[in-house]
């Protein structure tokens, strides 16, 4: 195989998509992953990295367009680096996502013979996100947007992101204008100077309530009272306006003490008849409409009986645990974030649900130390993107539940966990994809395992 050289230009035919969304081409038997290409394209690409067994490239020129290629809708496409599948027709997006879930389970997990349900297509396809994070940067003017791909000092100054609502886009632009008027600079990580750091917007898609969380470095918030009065008057849907201070070097936007500038310290969202309190550090599925379909599929797989005892691991603010509580005798939830556990208890009380126990701690530790009078009949788990650790999976296996329902936002780490489950006697019965993130390579999955 002839290895391409860095900066070399190649004419390539794109045959498929790799996990993560890049086009796959082969030249003289050498695999080349091409950023910005879709299957069926013929492109001229420049090699950016030449590895021992593969190369990476980006499109320099489109020679022949794939029949599956469509015109991107967003004005920022190709600059901000997000929504990289905007150029791929939606039916093709769904088809490739489904195939990648199956391929991960078969090639990474070594699992075969499971039933594959039809993927649930996203609806709507645009303005579906209920949470979005932006960063400030100085540049020629104070900018507010998403980081440029591979760069952490500059951001794309976003005017209209089509993934979140027109209201929250307008709020972002208003906050940027105010920040510019103050004359204060954006935070600079290396020198640890400046003021403006992040803006986090959350929206209750079924309630209409909006949370605005402005994150700064240390210092007094300029003209806080007048700013809060003006912003809430211009946008009456703002139910929570808060100011967080991050004094660390870490470029993260959540988990810091905050001050309420206007309204409450939370908003409400409604999912499948539950009214849920959502606070700044809370985790919720970022696509409310598709979260309802995701939960419906998970509950269908669980097939709970009224006398059953169920675990919900990584339970967050209790959304799926409280839905399960309607169909079983008791739910036991575990979540590492203490504030989320507090909210889960509040949400249970507010919805008149009493057959629950929520505890705070690491899943691995809690499952090791817990003393149970009764083993769970089913376990629901929705781990972070990195999946569950091997020790966590082993603790789950040791509980001996007849059924496991695994919700995942990363098919590759789910497949790795599935391999460990299969080696311990669990059989993957069925898997179904739910498209929470149209125009991106990401896909959510629900899997049902039964003890053999």
Confidence tier at 407 by pLDDT (50, 70, 90): very high
Average pLDDT, the chain: 94
Q: Is 315 a catalytic residue?
A: no
Q: Quick one: tokens of 310? A: 């169920």
Rounded to the nearest angstrom, the gap between the alpha carbon of residue 181 and the centroid of all alpha carbons in its chain is 33
CA 345, CA 322: separation in Å to the nearest integer?
A: 10
pLDDT digits (tens, 9 = 90+) for 112-136: 999 999 999 999 999 999 999 999 9
- CA torsion through residues 250, 255, 258, 263, sign: positive
Q: Which CATH number fits domain 94-124+287-451: 3.40.50.300, 3.40.50.740, 3.40.50.150, 3.40.190.10?
A: 3.40.50.150
> Which percentage of the chain shows pLDDT scores above 90?
87
Residue 249's pLDDT band, with cuts at 50, 70 and 90, is confident
- Scored b (16 or more CB within 10 A) or e, 70-81 reads bebebebbeebb
E runs forming strands in 54-137? 54-64, 115-116, 131-137
Asked if the 131-271 domain carries CATH number 3.40.50.2300, the reply is: no
Confidence of residue 139 (pLDDT cuts 50, 70, 90): confident
> pLDDT-derived band of residue 52, with 50, 70 and 90 as boundaries?
confident
- 9-64 matches 94-124+287-451 in fold: no
**Token couple for 25:** 């081409």
- Tell me which CATH code domain 9-64 carries: 2.40.50.140
Quick one: pLDDT at residue 136? 96
Q: What is the pLDDT of residues 333-371, one digit of tens each?
A: 999 999 999 999 999 999 999 999 999 999 999 998 888
Q: Looking at the predicted structure, is the pLDDT value of residue 274 above 80?
A: yes
71 pLDDT above the threshold of 90: yes
Report how far residue 446's alpha carbon sits from residue 451's, in angstroms, rounded to the nearest whole number. 17
User: What is the reported pLDDT for 1?
Assistant: 62
Residue ranges covered by each domain of the chain = 9-64, 94-124+287-451, 131-271
Greatest distance between any 2 Cα atoms in the chain: 67
pLDDT tens for each residue of 279-329: 998 889 999 999 999 999 999 999 999 999 999 999 999 999 999 999 999
Question: Taking residues 246-265, what's their average pLDDT?
Answer: 90
Please give the pLDDT value at position 368: 86
Residue written as tokens 């020129």?
A: 61
pLDDT recorded at residue 428: 98
Q: Please indicate, yes or no, whether the overall pTM of this predicted structure exceeds 0.85.
A: yes
**Whether the Cβ atoms of residue 125 and residue 90 lie closer than 8 Å to each other:** yes
- What are the pLDDT digits (tens) for 163-215? 999 999 999 999 999 999 999 999 998 889 999 999 999 999 999 999 999 99
Mean pLDDT for 265-273 is 96
What is the pLDDT confidence band of residue 256, given thresholds at 50, 70 and 90?
Answer: confident
- Quick one: which of 8, 17, 24 has its CA closest to 440? 17
Task: Work out the burial of residue 355: count CB atoms within 10 Å of its CB; fewer than 13 is exposed, 13-18 middle, 19 or more buried.
Answer: middle
C-alpha span between 434 and 94 (Å, rounded):
9
Q: Which residue bears the tokens 């629950």?
A: 356
What is the pLDDT, as a whole number, of residue 189? 87
pLDDT at 111 over 90: yes
Give the per-residue pLDDT at 369: 80
- The percentage of residues in the chain with a pLDDT greater than 70, rounded to a whole number, is 100
**Cα–chain center distance at 41:** 29
Sequence-distant (6+) residues with CB within 8 A of 233 are none
* Whole-Å CA distances, 211 to 46, 186, 208, 234, 385: 43, 22, 10, 14, 25
What per-residue confidence (pLDDT) applies to 435? 98
């Amino acid at each position: 195989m002839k290895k391409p050289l860095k900066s070399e230009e190649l004419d390539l035919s794109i045959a498929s998509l790799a996990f993560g969304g890049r086009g796959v081409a082969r030249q003289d038997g050498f695999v080349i992953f091409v950023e910005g290409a879709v299957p069926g394209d013929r492109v001229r690409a420049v090699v950016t990295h030449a590895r021992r067994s593969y190369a990476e490239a980006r499109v320099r020129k489109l020679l022949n367009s794939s029949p599956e290629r469509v015109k991107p809708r967003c004005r920022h496409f190709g600059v901000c680096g997000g929504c990289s599948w905007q150029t791929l027709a939606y039916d093709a997006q769904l088809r490739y996502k489904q195939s990648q879930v199956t391929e991960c389970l078969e090639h990474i997990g070594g699992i075969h013979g499971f039933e594959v349900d039809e993927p649930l297509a996203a609806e709507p396809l645009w303005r579906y996100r209920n949470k979005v994070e932006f960063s400030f940067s100085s540049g020629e003017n104070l900018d507010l947007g998403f980081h440029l791909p591979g760069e952490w000092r500059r951001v794309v100054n976003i005017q209209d992101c089509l993934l979140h609502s027109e209201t929250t886009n307008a709020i972002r632009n208003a906050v940027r204008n105010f920040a510019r008027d103050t004359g204060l600079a954006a935070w600079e990580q290396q020198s640890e100077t400046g003021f403006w750091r992040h803006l986090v917007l959350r929206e209750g898609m079924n309630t209409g309530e909006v949370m605005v969380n402005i994150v700064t470095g240390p210092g007094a918030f300029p003209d806080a009272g007048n700013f809060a009065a003006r912003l809430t008057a211009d946008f009456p849907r703002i139910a929570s306006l808060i100011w967080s201070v991050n004094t660390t070097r870490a470029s993260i936007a959540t988990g810091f003490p905050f001050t309420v500038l206007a309204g409450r310290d939370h908003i409400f969202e409604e999912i499948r008849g539950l009214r849920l309190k959502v606070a700044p550090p809370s985790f919720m599925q970022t696509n409310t409409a598709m979260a309802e379909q995701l939960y419906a599929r998970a509950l269908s797989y669980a097939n709970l009986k009224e006398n059953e005892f169920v675990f919900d691991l990584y339970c967050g603010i209790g959304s799926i645990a409280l839905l399960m509580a309607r169909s079983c005798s008791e739910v036991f939830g575990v979540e590492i974030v203490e504030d989320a556990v507090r909210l889960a208890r509040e949400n249970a009380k507010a919805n008149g649900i009493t057959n629950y126990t929520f505890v705070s701690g690491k899943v691995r530790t809690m499952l090791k130390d817990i003393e149970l009078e009764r083993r769970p009949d089913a376990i629901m788990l929705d781990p972070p993107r990195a999946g569950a650790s091997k020790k966590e999976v082993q603790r789950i296996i040791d509980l001996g539940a007849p059924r496991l329902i695994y919700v995942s936002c990363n098919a590759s780490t789910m497949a790795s966990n599935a391999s460990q489950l299969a080696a311990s006697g669990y059989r993957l019965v069925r898997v179904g994809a739910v498209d929470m993130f149209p125009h991106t390579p990401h896909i959510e999955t629900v899997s049902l395992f039964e003890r053999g």
